[in-house]
Structure 1
Amino acid sequence: MTRATEAATAIGILGTIYLALLFQWLPITLPPTIQEFILPVLPWWVLVTFGAYSLGNIGYHVMTFRDCPEAYDELQVQISQAQNDLRSKGIGL
């Protein structure tokens, strides 16, 4: 199975269990606090948690982005070559 198939399967199973608990389709008795206050807002909590994790992960990887001195040097050489080529064609820089 591909990773997308595994993710879709997991989301489908968890979604089915969530809906079964929310609409009391299973013969499981949950405490009223969980049934009335926690289950209805659980998808929003998951969404906010995923968003916070994603932003933190992106921020961390931007903060620890590794510089590439070789790429910098190569880019400087290419810029110099482009400037010389434009000067030889009569376009002054």
Structure 2
Amino acid sequence: MNAFEEERQMMKRMQEADFVVVELTLYTNTHPDDKEALDQWREAIKEAARIRRQFENRYGPISLNSIPSEQAIEAGWRWNQPPWPWQR
């Protein structure tokens, strides 16, 4: 697998993890007493954060809410300079 495919695969994993968090959030909003769903929601948040950190450590920040990695800080990350995450 080449570098482009690896990045795309990692981004897809991040999107999937975020999707799970959104879906569980919606479910737990309407089922606040479902302990199992709340536990799944908590774990999904941790997993999504882990995948996002992994992606950002390798490729740089993905959103304005991201905490820049050491690499991004050292490189002087600029949001207005290409390549943007979806352009790599």
Fold similarity call, TM over 0.5: no
Normalising by structure 1, report the TM-score.
0.35
Structure number with higher helix proportion: 1
Higher relative contact order (CA closer than 8 Å, sequence separation 6+) = 2
